[in-house]
Structure formats: C-alpha cells, structure tokens
Amino acid sequence: MIEVRDLHRHFGGFRAVDGASLRIETGSITGLVGPNGAGKTTLFNVIAGALPPTSGQVIMDGEDITGLPPHELFHKGLLRTFQIAHEFSSMTCRENLMMVPGGQSGESIWNAWIGRSRIAREEAELLKKADDVLDFLTISHLKDERAGNLSGGQKKLLELGRTMMVDAKIVFLDEVGAGVNRTLLNTIGDAILRLNRERGYTFCMIEHDMEFIGRLCDPVIVMAEGHVLAEGTIDEIKANEQVIEAYLGT
Ligand code: ADP
C-alpha cells in the first residue's frame, strides 16, 4: 500500500531520516520500532505530509504522494492520529466525532437553500455514525463526557474513533500505548485488531511496548540512525544481533 523509497529528511547538517526504504503491505499492522532518535517520528511526519522530505519518494497504491499536504492525504484515506486539540477538550466525545467529516451541507451558506430537511437528515446520519463508533470502541457511556475529562487511554480510543468517521485506508499511530494502563491498552489493542480484521484498515504504528507490538504487529520494522536496520516478526527482531546492538548503543 505504501512504499517509501530512499527517503531523506535533514535538519541542517543532521540526517534525521537517512535513506529509509520500506513497504507497508495492505492489510498489515506494521510496527515501527527503534531507539530514541532513530528517525521514526520524522519519517511519520514526512509520510503524513507534515514535513517535506529532503529527497526520496512516498508511493501509495502506485501513486506518488510525496509532499502532499495532510488534507489531500486525508481524502486518499491516509490518516494520522493526533492528540485531541485544546479547543476540542470542552466538546463532548460525540461532538468530537461529529466534527470530523467535512463537507456536510449545513456548512455551506449556499446549501442552506437546499433545505433544512437534508441538513437534518445528514446530522441524524452523523449522529448515528458517531454513536456506532463509540459503541465499537466500547465507550458509549462516555458519549456526553467532555473530551478534556477523559483519561489518557480513553483519549487514545477517541482519537482512533475519529479515523472511523471517515473512510480511512491506512492509519499511522504514534505511540498510541504510551502512558496507558494495561486494561485500556488491551481495549485499544482489541479496537486496532478489529478495525484491521473487520474493516480492512491497514496500520503503521510507532510503539515502544514490546508486548503490545508482539500482540498486534506483523511485520515489525526496526529503524536506527535514520534508516531501516531490520524487518521481521517480533521474535526475529528480538533475536537479531544488529537490533540488540542498536538498542544497547543508546
Ligand atoms: P524517534 O521518533 O525515532 O525518536 P525523531 O524522528 O523524533 O526520532 O528524531 C530523530 C532525530 O532528529 C533526533 O535526533 C531529533 O533531535 C532530530 N530532529 C527531529 N526533528 C527535528 C527538528 N525539527 N529540527 C532539528 N532536529 C530534529
């Protein structure tokens, strides 16, 4: 689905991403691991359109998407989860979800002419979709809770939920498990697995928790010093001497 070809991103003279090449296969949950400073986040930023690359290409389903802005990637179904922005904290979970899809008729002054019934119908559909998403994520009971009051793990679930409000094909998750307690981590893991199996989502996730990665990811790609060091199953990665050395060296 995604092919990264010889990607570079330099900051001044520093090569944060230094010739990274990798593939994310359709239908996979690909893990991206590596020591701190390996260039994982920078790579994500370049793929997701937040940073232009210094050189190299990102191909999605055969199409060159290098350097496209996030909103164009969004329309192609490539999404990256972001922490709930400050201004959305005072909105409820349901409202946060309903904010996601653009282009509702109610947003355009011209479309007000089309009639209120259509706007009302779209809003009802959106509401139903938001409730379905909350149900899928097993957080229906939080629908009227303000997003700012959620725990860290519940916020991660809501972030995942936002990708379900649009037709996502591939979702990039940046440390979705960081600082989340075990129980919620399992719930997040279950949601990711079900989105993958039941809804055909492809995932690429940066993660540090090896147990979490082992449960979800195949393959696992290891980055070090801006490029790919190894790729394989979690067991292969754990047994790889180069990988062990890269981690020990930090
Ligand atoms: P990882 O996610 O694997 O920990 P990062 O991609 O965050 O790695 O960072 C890789 C390296 O690039 C780090 O040494 C970091 O300090 C550097 N870096 C990241 N962003 C910038 C930036 N905007 N300006 C300068 N250096 C940066």
Fold of 1-77+167-250: Rossmann fold (3.40.50)
Q: Decide: 14 and 183 in contact? Cβ < 8 Å.
A: no
- CATH 3.40.50.300 occupies which residues in the chain? 1-77+167-250
Least confident of 70-79, 114-123, 186-195: 114-123
> Ligand 1 centre and the CA of 130: distance in Å?
36
Report pLDDT digits (tens) over 220-229: 999 999 999 9
pLDDT-derived band at 137, boundaries 50, 70, 90: very high
Is residue 214 predicted with pLDDT exceeding 90? yes
Rounded distance, CA 234 to CA 211, Å? 9
Q: Decide: 133 and 165 in contact? Cβ < 8 Å.
A: yes
Report pLDDT digits (tens) over 32-73: 999 999 999 999 999 999 999 999 999 999 999 999 998 899
In sequence order, what E strands does 61-201 have? 63-64, 78-80, 170-174
> Ligand 1 centre and the CA of 223: distance in Å?
13
What pLDDT is recorded for position 85?
A: 62
Rounded distance, CA 244 to CA 103, Å? 49
What pLDDT is recorded for position 117?
A: 74
More confident residue, 13 or 116: 13
Point out the ligand 1 atom lying closest to the alpha carbon of residue 44: 6
Output the pTM of the full model: 0.89
User: Best mutation site among 15, 17, 36, 42 for ligand 1, i.e. most ligand atoms within 8 A of its Cβ?
Assistant: 42
Is residue 102 predicted with pLDDT exceeding 70? no
Decide if the complex's ipTM is over 0.90: yes
Is residue 121 predicted with pLDDT exceeding 90? no
What pLDDT is recorded for position 139?
A: 93
> Ligand 1 centre and the CA of 43: distance in Å?
9
Is residue 26 predicted with pLDDT exceeding 80? yes
Ligand 1 contact via 14 beta carbon (within 6 Å): yes
Is residue 81 predicted with pLDDT exceeding 90? no
Rounded distance, CA 234 to CA 25, Å? 17
